[in-house]
Amino acid sequence: MTRPFLSIQAIEKTYGAVVAVKDVSLDIAKGEFMTFLGPSGSGKSTTLYVVAGFLEPTRGDVLLEGKSVLSVPSNKRNIGMVFQRYTLFPHLSVADNVAFPLKVRRRPKAEIDAKVSAMLKLVRLDRMAERMPAQMSGGQQQRVALARALAYDPPILLMDEPLSALDKKLREELQVEIKRIHAETGVTILYVTHDQEEALRLSDRVALFNAGRIEQLGTGRDLYETPATRFVAGFIGNSNFLSGKLDRRSSTACAIVLPDGVRFDAAPSAAIEPQRRDVEIMIRPDHFRLHNGERDDGLPKMTGTVTDTTYLGEYTLIAVRTAWGVPLTVRLPPGAALPDIARGQTIDLTCDRANLRVF
Amino acid sequence: MLLDFDRLGLFRIVLVGIALLVGAFLLLPILLIVALSFGSSRYLQFPPPAWTLKWYAALFADPDWLSSFATSLEIAVTVMIVATLIGLMASFGLTRGRFPGKEVLRALFLTPMVLPVVVLAVGLYAFFLRLHLNGTFAGFVIAHVVVALPFAIISICNALERFDKSIEDAAVLCGASPLEAKIRITLPAIRLGLFGAAIFSFLASWDEVVIAIFMASPDLQTLPVRIFSTLRQDLSPVIAAVSTLLVGLTIVLMLLASLLRKGKPA
């Protein structure tokens, strides 16, 4: 394997007894769009701030193209960053904001002017060069911040929840812009967000943070389809969890008995310690299959009562309560919906072995 | 609100009346002084028998008054610069610093505002006796900086607390050294607070009289000190003229300060 472009190695950050980040390691390839996803306080921003140089890690190292950057002060790291809050320099015009990093670097004026106009074109604000930040909307300000962060061709662009202050429509608009700019410039991006949809939409790979550690690192598809832990399964997408007892386990299969006695077979999970008996199975809402009892595909079935059905056009949501009282959500594509599902009706639910996950 | 002005009914008239009376009580003596400074009577007769500018002419012809004016101005300008600079550094420490005893330090910086000025003056006088600073320009400046500093710190701290530190961080990531980021980005962004600090520090020294009386020597007297000592010997309308100029400059600076406060940090 070739040397990684940016390598975060066993970073740990503690504040007294409080551990903010614990043993976080990951490699990022040149040109990759990597997102740190996680709830607030999970350590994703702390890790980003270590890369930016605003925080010094208690342990660990950060290597850029093989060289440690920890001893390099923030202003010499040549890293671009867009912040969660609006950080345009309030007394400078848009053009002067974008020119600032180049002026600090004492570049010749002609080069600065050319770069500023190229950058403003990149973020489609070339007509607003003379505006002051206070005269612009939040979305426009973040575009300028992006232009400013890219003006000096940094090898890495850090983005700390840059869209979280914007409303949904603007946020989606800017996500498209960020994706386009990533494609046009080829810059390596480290992006922090707590919005899973944003993470899946933008990133090549996602590192899901929880309680200071990386819970799982992979593509959005990896995280959704093969979640490594209960936390990942619960955080990414909607999930149904059913508690049960582990009945039998071998190297190739395990069986879980649900409270009503139904046995489900599943692939064994490495996440379960040998002695544990109490487990949970996870089924995505769209992986259920419903039966009226007329057909038998040989799969184990649990019985439930329909408590509500909601038709939403693109899909239909059916709320089901199991015989022992656990609410489940079932999602059916429009063609697949059984026409006669009514509230109060009893139905059988089943799920393919491949779509069951045990935690 | 419980006491909504619009719903007070007739009581509103009473309230407005009281407000007007208080305002008049505060302003009339000043207006009287201003009127007297233009009156022709040697004995401060009111209403003045005729109007004249001769007291102002006398004032500008008197080298003692002029030298006091210059002294006041020099001290106030120096105090303004020193207090704003120290205030700036102290404010950075008080808003950004993380150290034990920060709140105690903040309170300590603001004590001169609540301490009786006479107590402060006597203390400084006794202290400066040992240092041989009484009656010197440096002594004057140090003493007035002590009084002016709370105003500078309050003004700059307010501005710094409203300034988002992320903006300075962004400048640092853009390649500016921490000092360069402060000078090129943070200071311009909090400039209204700095102007406020400068104006109030200037005024704190400009019309301060109690400490000035303790610090003054026969050849180093500020305007308020000379007014005070002249008053004890002689009631000349020239004093009214000096006072009018003193009040005039103060009003101009206060107006400037409130204009700055209204103006949006563009």
Q: Is B169 on the interface with A (CB under 8 A)?
A: yes
- Indicate the range of A64-78, B108-122, B185-199, B231-245 predicted with least confidence: B231-245
pLDDT above 90 (res B231): no
pLDDT above 90 (res B175): yes
Contact A87 B175 (CB under 8 A): no
pLDDT exceeding 70 applies to what percent of chain A? 96
pLDDT above 50 (res B264): no
Chain B CB contacts of A132 under 8 Å are 266
Query: Which pLDDT score is estimated for A62?
Result: 94
pLDDT above 60 (res B265): no
Q: Is A80 on the interface with B (CB under 8 A)?
A: yes
- For residue A131, give the chain B residue with the closest CA: B266
Tens digit of pLDDT for each residue in A288-328? 888 766 666 677 788 888 898 888 888 888 899 988 888 89
Tens digit of pLDDT for each residue in A196-216? 999 999 999 999 999 999 999
Tens digit of pLDDT for each residue in A78-126? 999 999 999 999 999 999 999 999 999 999 999 999 999 999 999 999 8
Give me the interface pTM, i.e. the ipTM. Answer: 0.81
Q: Is A75 on the interface with B (CB under 8 A)?
A: yes
Q: Is A74 on the interface with B (CB under 8 A)?
A: yes
pLDDT above 60 (res A12): yes
Contact A101 B175 (CB under 8 A): yes
Indicate the average pLDDT of chain B. 90
Contact A87 B180 (CB under 8 A): no
pLDDT above 70 (res B1): no
Mean per-residue pLDDT, B99-118: 92
pTM listed for this prediction: 0.81
- For residue B173, give the chain A residue with the closest CA: A75
pLDDT above 90 (res B235): no
Residues 227-266 of B with CB under 8 A from A: 264-266
Contact A89 B171 (CB under 8 A): yes
Residue A99 CA to residue A116 CA, distance in Å, equals 6
Query: Which pLDDT score is estimated for A340?
Result: 67
Q: Are strands A80-82 and A67-68 parallel, antiparallel or unpaired?
A: unpaired
Tens digit of pLDDT for each residue in A242-280? 888 887 777 777 888 888 888 888 877 766 777 778 888
pLDDT tier at B266, thresholds 50, 70, 90: very low
Give the gap in angstroms from C-alpha B183 to the nearest C-alpha of chain A.
12
Q: Is A68 on the interface with B (CB under 8 A)?
A: no
From the list B170, B188, B264, the residue facing A83 with the nearest CB is B170
Residue that wins the pLDDT comparison between A38 and A353: A38
Tens digit of pLDDT for each residue in B110-154? 999 999 999 999 999 999 999 999 989 999 999 999 999 999 999
For B92-140, the DSSP string reads HHHHH---TTHHHHHHHHHHHHHS-HHHHHHHHHHHHHHHT-TTSHHHH
Give yes or no for a cis peptide into B150 (omega within 30° of 0).
no
Contact A152 B166 (CB under 8 A): no
Mean per-residue pLDDT, B185-204: 94
Tens digit of pLDDT for each residue in A145-200? 999 999 999 999 999 999 998 988 899 999 999 999 999 999 999 999 999 999 99
Chain B CB contacts of A134 under 8 Å are 264, 266
Contact B167 A90 (CB under 8 A): yes
Chain A CB contacts of B96 under 8 Å are none
pLDDT above 80 (res B2): no
